[in-house]
Amino acid sequence: MVLASSTFAFTICFAIWMMFAVLGIPIKKMLDLNETQFGLLAATPVLSGALVRVPLGIWCDRFGGRIVFFLLMLATVPAIYLIGRATEFWQFLALGLMIGLAGGSFSVGTPYVARWFPKERRGLAMGIFGAGNSGSALTKFVAPAIIAAWGWQALPTVYAVAMLATALLFWAFSATDPSHVSADTTSFSEQLAVLKDRRVWRYCQYYSVVFGGYVGLALWMTKYYVAEYGFDLKLAALLAACFSLPGGVLRALGGWISDRYGAYKVTWWVMWVCWVCFFLLSYPPTSMIVKTVHGPVQVELAVTPWMFTGLLFVVGIAMAIGKASVFKFIGDEFAGNIGAVSGVVGLAGGLGGFVLPIMFGALLDLTGVRSSAFMLLYGTVCVSLVCMHYSFRPGEKPAQANPLKSVPRAA
């Protein structure tokens, strides 16, 4: 019941966290925003959701996940409702920061769920909970229909009611175990001592790719389909869900695979799959004149919508598995301080999700090439592959870490 209620609550939180992926399109038209401003609007909730992950993870260790999760959901309800009454760009940004708190629920739910399961099942449990990322796809299915029926102002009202109902259902069906609450008086600075461990920084890099990249693309792809291929909002959101849905639901599969084959091997192959797909997606539509013996021949090269959707689908699967494998590292190596470490790594992933849509928009404004977004992601995956290659040796096994005073391994 704890796992089911937590996963459902996280799914709704993630759907609301990603609401500007669809809601931002009519707002962009209403306010006449440029691409960079749209990226900022879409990414603003991600910023606050990332920044609160560290304190929320620590509070989860100290006070218990149930009460922190419940109060967090309640705190977002007024801001969600007021989005439908906003009229100025700065108002959307300010309220976006408030609803972004919903994204911090990941750093509460992960340690809350993990502590109910033994180590050999923890990867699968965290993967099932992480499947709540599919809330991004839920928004792409639900939001266009609500907007088409009642206008964009109705969506925040519906989501505010949904968040309130979810908070009450979570409290009714979840449970508290006093043994999961930390009894020590460790200071905030001592809990953040994990930042001295180089493993934490590696996992931050990996998670900024698999989660930050997922969030960035989930926010950007609906608009990409509309602008690049001329699809209407409903069809664009549906095709974008082909990336968002497997990117969330299959996280549970990633947890099971990581339990069976190990976090390092799974993460390594995830990065290689993303590397190949991003290389293909980076290629912009191109026209070439080829000189042949029979005269010049014009050649058109472009990724069709169906090829594009297929490659995104593969990326979504890879990122889902990668998100689970990174947290398998954390669950195995920092079991005693999982709240603080998951908060730090979640912060890195969230910041990646905040920065990427803004960079996507800035690159598009500067270059005029929409596939420049995938060129950027290709570069981030290259950094992760190099980092993994030089950080691990064949046959190396992760050392068990002291919960608060982990000793860095030699790279």
- Per-residue burial over 67-81, b if 16 or more Cβ lie within 10 Å, else e, is bbbbebbeebbebbb
387 is a domain residue: yes
Q: What is the DSSP string of 19-83?
A: THHHHHHHHHHHHT--HHHHHHHHHHHHHHHHHTHHHHHHHHHHH-HHHHHHHHHHHHHHHHHHH
244 is a domain residue: yes
Helix (H) or strand (E) holding 244: helix 233-249
User: How many independent structural domains does the chain possess?
Assistant: 1
157 is a domain residue: yes
403 is a domain residue: no
β-partners of residue 288 are: 299
Report the candidate in 151, 150, 155, 140 with the shortest Cα–Cα distance to residue 99: 155
Let me know: does 275 contact 388? Beta carbons within 8 Å: no
Give Cα separations from 83 to 27, 158, 167, 287, 380 (angstroms): 11, 11, 19, 44, 33
Helix (H) or strand (E) holding 132: none
- Considering the entire predicted model, what is its pTM? 0.75
Instruction: For the chain, give the number of residues.
Output: 411
What's the CA gap between 237 and 400, in Å, rounded?
A: 44
Domain that holds residue 88: 2-177+188-391
Give Cα separations from 322 to 14, 30, 262 (angstroms): 18, 37, 12
Q: Which residues of the chain have pLDDT under 50?
A: 394-411
Give Cα separations from 218 to 105, 166, 192, 246, 318 (angstroms): 18, 23, 30, 12, 14
CATH number at residue 231: 1.20.1250.20
342 is a domain residue: yes
Q: What is the largest CA-CA distance in the chain?
A: 82
What's the CA gap between 80 and 16, in Å, rounded?
A: 8
pLDDT at 404: 42
**Phi and psi at residue 286, to the nearest 5°:** -135, 140
56 is a domain residue: yes
Report the candidate in 145, 133, 104 with the shortest Cα–Cα distance to residue 12: 133
pLDDT per residue as tens digits for the range 284-300: 888 888 888 888 988 88
What's the CA gap between 331 and 342, in Å, rounded?
A: 9
Q: 346 in helix, strand or coil?
A: helix
Let me know: does 375 contact 279? Beta carbons within 8 Å: no
pLDDT at 194: 67
92 is a domain residue: yes
182 is a domain residue: no
Could you say which DSSP state residue 410 is in?
P
Let me know: does 193 contact 405? Beta carbons within 8 Å: yes
